[in-house]
Amino acid sequence: MKAIRIAGAVLLMAGCINGYAQGASAADSASVEASASAPANAASGAVSNRQLAASVRSALRSAHRHGLKSSYIRVRANGGVVTLTGVVADDSQIGLATSVAQRVPGVSSVVNKLKLRVVAGVKGSE
């Protein structure tokens, strides 16, 4: 809902700026249009980052059948770069999580900051 409000505000601003630009020179118009599209790109970038992170989380959950327990893995995305943080039970799950994340469309690279549960000092199923 918040994204829709932001998009509406951006469109309203773009319309106002476009009306103002109609009276300006061609150089001024290009400058105004470029600045009007910056907030729209930022808003759409945030949405696509969230969508990418959600896609990676879904792929990690689906890898459960391959032995990956993703309950304690957090996913962040920024411009195609996905960062995995949290804890896993063993080394093989670190590699598996990285591999799964890299195969998600839109992921350009994966920064793996996963730790072993034992090394991180987490006991049991925490």
**pTM score over 0.95:** no
Query: Domains of the chain, with CATH numbers?
Result: 2-120 (3.30.1340.30)
Nearest to 74 by CA among 48, 43, 112, 119: 112
Report how far residue 15's alpha carbon sits from residue 20's, in angstroms, rounded to the nearest whole number. 9
Spell out a b/e string for 4-26, using b for 16 or more CB atoms within 10 Å of the CB, else e. eebeeebeeebeebeeebeeeee
Query: 50-109, pLDDT tens digit by residue?
Result: 999 999 999 999 999 988 999 999 999 999 999 999 999 999 999 999 999 999 999 999
